[in-house]
Structure formats: structure tokens, C-alpha cells
């Protein structure tokens, strides 16, 4: 009976897709393949910053002009984004940094959020053991212990050259004096208005008017005061004193779990970066608890063994083989990966050429592999996401690749009363129940289960590449579960298809993640012939026009042959901006 149902479901999907194609043709809807424009990004001779907002990029570039290094600029950019890009830039969330120093030494820091001490494995389940919808995604119980401020403090202590207060000052200025909302900024605020009301029974700045418009001037006085305390007191300005008191008071009001002990005990962790090679390029990427590095290595090594470049970009075979590699990498993510401080993960085996070759040995050129044959599971949806990435290179060729997040857009939607910043909803990145998907459609098991002070698994993939021993590329992207595939394609577009960094970022992308058993196609990624060929191989292609920014919003830097820097800001998000000199 189950087999008949599955066959009927697949028949129904194919029929619906056929009708969709007919509809597109009859209504002259242009969905088919668009070649990337032949263009370069912003060129700088000395240094470059690419971030999610023009004001943040310009602040970073100014720090570099003043003689600061990439780490100084990263701290300034991060705090600026916490003001002007609050849907993802934050002091109430966390993230990861991969870095490369001018002498070639590399490393990473994990300032990912942690589960509170009082958290437990079944905290989002009802008495029947079923997941309580939305409980891990909005409100106070969804919040993990923030890591961003501690991460910035540790980066400053280890690598920075400028005074801490001078690096926080531009963000204070933005919050205190205010800035004009961009069109994207206004849309983001308006789209979450109802959630802000539901989760904040107090006066908050973003509810000051019913509808925000481009050009509106907005200030954040409470956030400015919080940043001043961080500027004066460093780590203690956030994890202690009045700000910590306000965080804890906010938790108590609505059954949140974070305590003073949680804040006192939080510490970012310096970790050894994952290193691999791809067609003569050294790849430096993020280790666990970011799954991005392991999965990216699996994709790159698999593509190298297959020689992905033998097929035209976004041709049937190109998309088919990428999809097959992606499904296996995401199935491994669900099965094997978790916080390395809590679970044992054999990263060396999972990223070894022999394992990857064997894992991909059953790929069929003519037919897709059913996700149920790769690994059983069930999930029904991929939802929206909000993260931010910025890339920085200084005149000494220090390089920083940082991805930070609140998880969903504006995180838990909760603003700390009197402190003025949004708190994350990172608890949803745990496997709240084995086999049940999170908001990004990602499935996990016991390895990513909730435990006190455990870090939740992430898809963030900040990455740096070298060529012939010299800095070559700095890359990363927001995009929830799509981050890994988007970063892979951006790298491949440059190395395999000879694109400029901007062309690689602009190029239309595809995504698959094991479950759901579909291929997501960004508008313009394919043509009708390729669409039909994919269906004939058994794939279920899903057009992706519903998400306004497309797949990913890559911010990347490429070192050109003449030594200059090409900053590529992804136009899928209109506020992305490259600033260099």
C-alpha cells in the first residue's frame, strides 16, 4: 500500500510540474536559464570589505584606511550590523569565523550559542511526545545563550591592533544618531510586525509606527546604551552588570531559561580549521559544530572525483550530479554530525577521499537516487531563514570570513526590555525530536539533541581559499540549509567555470538537501529542456520564485592575478555592498 501511495504521489508531482510548464509558456512567464552578466565586482588595490549593508561596509573600509587590520574591521562591521541589519546582525546571537593571517597561518573561532543549563532533550514536546509547533522558533524559550560579544572580545584580544572602544564607537553613533532605512530594511521590519507584537508586551523601537518606509529615520537609544557599556567594559558589559540583569529579567517574565550562571559560563572556542584541497587550491573552512565545513569538503571532493567541470554550467548532468552529491552530504549531516564537545564525530573518515568515493559510487548517470534509499526519514518543508556573512581582506592580506545569525529573521522576535537588542531562536537548530525537521527542513538525531550547554549544529560555512600558497578567495553566505550548496557553487563557478567573483556570485543556483526529496531551482537557473530532462531522471524540481532574494546572498572577495581585490556583493539582497580602496 505504501509503495502504491509513493508511486501515485510521484505521478501527481510530475503531472503538476507538467501543468506548471504549460502555464508558464501560456502566460509567457520567463523562468528559464539566464546566463550571468559578464562583469566584475568592486575593485580595490589594497583592502576590501563586503557585507550585508552599505553603512557597515563603509565603516569597515574606514577602519582599514585608518591602519586597522582585517580583525579590527571585522569587529567594527559586526557591531555596525547589529544596529543597521538587526534581522541577522546581532549581539544577541552567535556565529563563526575562519581566518588566515598574512604569514599563512589559519584557524577559526566558534562563538555559536549554547543551550541554557536548564535545557533538556524533551523541552519542546507535549505529554504525548509530539513537537509543540513554534515553541522552538518564537518567544523566550527558543533562545540560546548568546556568543557574539564574547567572540568579538576574544578576536580583539588575539589579533586586533586598534582600541576596543574605537571599534565599537561607529555602531554607537549609528544607534544613537540614527540612520535612514533602506527599502530592504523597511520591508524586513514590516514583514515581522505581527510577530514583534506577539512576543513583546512592551514598547520597542520597531513598533514605533505601523508601517516603515524607505528613507525613514530610525534610532535605537536602548541599544546605544548597551553598546556603550560593551565599549567601556568589554565582555562584562554584556555578560555582567545591568545588561545581564536585563537579559535574565526578560527570561523570567516569559518562562525563558537563561540565567546569570549561563551568561557567566559562556565562552567562545578557538578550533582548528578543516583543511582540504580542490583542484590545486587549498580550502580552509569551519569545523564542527558547524556542519558547513564537513559537508563542503564532501561536496568539493566528490565534485573533484567526478570532474564536475566536464559538463556545461547548469546543464542537466551538472544539476543532476550536484543534486546527488548534495543529498548524500546532507544525509551524512543528519546521521553523524553534532557538537564535538559532546559527541564523537569521525571527521577524518567522513572527509577522506576513500569514504567520499565509496559514498558516491552508486550515483547513476541516468536516474536519481531516491532519498529514502540514501537514508530513511520524513520532512515536509523548507522555510525562510536569515543569517549574514561578511568577508574582509586588509593590505597585509590578513583575511577574515565571518558568518553570524539569530537563526530566523529577527530570531525569537524578542527584544530585551531596556537593552534594545533581539535575541536569537537558535534552539530550533537542535534536533528537537529525532527525525523531525527544523524550520529549514533539516533533520537530525541524538547527536544533535538538546543537552545543557551544548552547541546546536549549524550550516554556516565561512571559507577561505589559497592558490599557490597565497590568499585566493574569501567566501560565505547566509541562507539556512542552502548555505553549504551556495558556497560550494560559488567556489566551483570560479575554479571550474572561469567566472569572475561577481559572475560566480550572480550565477543562478540550485539546491537539494536529502529531504525533502526535491531539487530547488532558482529562477533563471535552467531552461525548459533541462527541466524536462531532470524530470525524466526522476527528480522533482521545485521553482523558487517565492523567496525574493533567491538562493543565498554571497559576499565574497577574490584576489585577482594582478594582486588587486575583487569584492562581490550579492545583488539578491539589494543592501549587500562592497567597499574597498
Q: Give the residue among 390, 374, 439, 392 at the shortest CA–CA distance from 412.
A: 439
Longest CA pairwise span in the chain (Å): 70
Distance CA 100, CA 107 (A): 7
What span, in angstroms and rounded, lies between the C-alpha atoms of 212 and 206? 9
Q: What is the pLDDT of residue 436?
A: 60
Q: To the nearest 10°, report the CA torsion of 67, 73, 79, 80.
A: 80
Q: Let me know if domain 274-383+461-580 sits in CATH 3.30.70.20.
A: no
Q: Which residue in the list 226, 387, 405, 526 is annotated as catalytic? A: 387
Render 198-247 in DSSP notation, one character per residue.
HH--S--GGGSSS---TT-EE--HHHHHHHHHHHHHTTHHHHSHHHHHHH
HSE-up (13 A, CA, CB side) for residue 350: 26
Q: Is residue 387 annotated as a catalytic residue, yes or no?
A: yes
Q: What angle do CA 104, 106, 112 make, to 5 degrees?
A: 160
Residue 364 CA to residue 427 CA, distance in Å, equals 38
Q: What is the 3-state secondary structure (H, E, C) of 341-398?
A: CCCCCCHHHHCCHHHHHHHCCCCCCCCCCCHHHHCCCCCCCCCCCEEEEEEEECCCCC
Q: Which three cell numbers stand for residue 147?
A: 556568543
Q: CB of 405 within 8 A of CB of 90?
A: yes
At 161, phi and psi to the nearest 5? -120, -20
pLDDT score, position 294: 97
Q: Which pLDDT tens digits describe the chain residue by residue (581 residues)?
A: 445 544 555 555 555 555 555 444 434 344 456 666 679 999 999 999 999 999 999 999 999 999 999 999 999 999 999 999 999 999 999 999 999 999 999 999 999 999 999 999 999 999 999 889 889 999 999 999 999 999 999 999 999 999 999 999 999 999 999 999 999 999 999 999 999 999 998 999 999 999 999 999 999 999 999 999 999 999 999 999 999 999 999 999 999 999 999 999 999 999 999 999 999 999 999 999 999 999 999 999 999 999 999 999 999 999 999 999 999 999 898 889 999 999 999 999 999 999 999 999 999 999 999 877 887 454 433 434 568 999 999 999 999 999 999 998 999 999 999 999 999 999 998 887 765 655 545 454 578 899 999 999 999 999 999 999 999 999 999 988 889 999 999 999 999 999 999 999 999 999 998 878 889 899 889 888 998 999 999 998 887 654 445 788 999 999 999 999 999 999 998 899 999 99
- Separation CA 336–CA 499 (nearest Å): 34
Task: Give the closest residue to 114 by CA, choosing from 264, 327, 297, 6.
Answer: 264
Smallest CA-to-CA distance from 75 within 385, 394, 288 is with 394
> Where are the chain's structural domains?
48-123+131-268+408-448, 274-383+461-580
Instruction: Supply 519's cell numbers.
Output: 531539487
- Transcribe 44-101 into DSSP letters: ESS-EEEESSHHHHHHHHHHHHTT--HHHHHHHHHHHHHHH-TTT--SSSEEEEEEE-
Element (H, E) at 402: strand 399-407
- pTM higher than the cut 0.75: yes
Residue 116 C-alpha cell reads as 541554557
Burial of 51 by CB count in 10 Å (0-12 exposed, 13-18 middle, 19+ buried)? buried
What nine digits make up the cell of 292? Answer: 558547513
Amino acid at each position: 500500500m505504501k509503495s502504491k501511495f509513493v508511486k501515485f504521489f510521484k505521478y501527481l508531482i510530475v503531472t503538476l510540474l507538467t501543468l506548471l510548464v504549460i502555464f508558464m509558456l501560456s502566460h509567457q512567464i520567463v523562468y528559464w536559464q539566464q546566463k550571468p552578466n559578464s562583469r566584475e565586482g568592486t575593485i580595490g588595490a589594497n583592502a576590501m570589505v563586503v557585507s550585508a549593508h552599505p553603512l557597515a561596509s563603509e565603516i569597515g573600509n574606514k577602519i582599514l584606511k585608518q591602519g586597522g587590520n582585517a580583525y579590527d574591521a571585522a569587529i567594527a562591521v559586526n557591531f555596525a550590523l547589529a544596529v543597521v541589519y538587526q534581522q541577522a546582525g546581532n549581539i544577541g546571537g552567535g556565529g563563526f569565523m575562519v581566518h588566515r593571517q598574512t604569514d599563512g597561518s589559519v584557524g577559526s573561532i566558534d562563538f555559536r550559542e549554547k543551550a541554557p543549563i536548564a535545557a533538556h532533550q524533551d523541552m519542546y514536546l507535549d505529554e504525548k511526545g509530539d513537537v509543540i509547533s513554534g515553541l522552538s522558533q518564537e518567544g523566550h524559550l527558543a533562545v540560546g545563550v548568546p556568543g557574539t560579544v564574547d567572540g568579538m572580545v576574544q578576536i580583539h584580544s588575539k589579533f586586533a591592533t586598534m582600541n576596543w572602544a574605537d571599534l565599537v564607537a561607529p555602531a554607537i553613533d549609528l544607534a544613537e544618531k540614527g540612520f535612514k532605512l533602506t527599502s530592504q530594511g523597511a520591508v524586513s521590519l514590516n514583514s515581522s510586525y505581527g510577530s514583534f507584537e506577539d512576543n513583546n508586551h512592551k514598547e520597542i523601537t520597531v513598533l514605533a509606527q505601523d508601517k516603515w518606509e524607505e528613507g525613514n529615520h530610525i534610532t535605537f537609544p536602548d541599544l546605544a546604551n548597551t553598546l556603550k557599556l560593551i565599549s567601556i567594559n568589554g565582555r562584562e558589559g554584556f555578560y555582567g552588570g545591568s545588561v545581564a540583569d536585563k537579559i535574565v529579567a526578560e527570561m523570567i517574565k516569559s518562562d525563558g531559561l537563561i540565567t546569570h550562571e549561563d551568561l557567566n559560563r559562556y565562552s567562545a572556542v578557538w578550533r582548528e580549521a578543516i583543511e582540504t584541497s580542490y583542484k590545486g587550491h587549498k580550502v580552509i573552512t569551519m569545523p564542527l559544530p558547524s556542519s558547513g565545513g564537513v559537508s563542503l569538503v564532501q561536496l568539493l571532493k566528490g565534485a573533484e572525483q567526478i570532474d564536475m567541470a566536464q559538463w556545461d554550467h547548469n546543464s542537466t548532468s551538472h544539476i543532476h550530479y550536484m543534486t546527488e552529491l548534495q543529498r548524500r552530504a546532507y544525509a551524512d549531516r543528519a546521521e553523524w554530525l553534532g557538537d564535538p564537545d559532546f559527541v564523537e564525530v569521525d571527521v577524518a573518515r567522513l572527509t577522506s577521499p576513500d569514504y567520499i568515493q565509496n559514498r558516491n559510487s552508486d550515483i547513476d548517470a541516468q536516474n536519481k537516487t531516491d532519498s529514502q534509499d540514501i537514508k530513511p526519514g520524513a520532512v515536509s518543508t523548507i522555510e525562510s531563514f536569515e543569517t549574514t556573512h561578511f568577508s574582509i581582506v586588509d593590505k597585509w592580506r590578513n583575511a577574515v570570513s565571518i558568518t553570524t545569525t539569530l537563526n530566523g529573521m529577527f530570531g525569537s522576535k524578542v527584544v530585551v526590555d531596556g537593552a534594545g537588542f533581539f535575541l536569537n531562536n537558535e534552539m530550533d537548530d537542535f534536533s528537537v525530536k529525532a527525525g523531525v525537521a527544523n524550520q529549514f527542513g533539516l533533520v537530525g538525531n541524538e547527536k544533535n539533541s538538546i543537552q545543557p550547554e551544548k552547541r546546536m549544529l549549524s550550516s554556516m560555512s565561512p571559507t577561505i581559499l589559497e592558490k599557490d600558497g597565497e590568499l585566493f578567495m574569501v567566501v560565505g553566505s547566509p541562507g539556512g540549509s542552502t548555505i553549504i550548496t551556495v558556497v560550494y557553487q560559488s567556489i566551483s563557478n570560479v575554479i571550474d567555470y572561469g567566472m569572475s567573483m561577481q559572475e560566480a556570485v550572480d550565477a543562478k543556483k540550485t539546491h537539494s538537501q536529502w529531504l525533502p526529496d526535491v531539487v530547488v531551482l532558482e529562477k533563471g537557473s535552467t531552461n525548459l529542456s533541462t527541466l524536462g530532462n531532470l524530470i525524466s531522471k526522476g527528480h522533482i524540481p521545485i521553482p523558487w520564485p517565492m523567496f525574493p532574494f533567491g538562493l543565498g546572498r554571497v559576499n565574497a572577495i577574490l584576489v585577482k592575478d594582478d594582486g588587486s581585490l575583487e569584492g562581490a556583493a550579492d545583488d539578491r539582497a539589494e543592501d549587500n555592498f562592497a567597499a574597498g580602496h
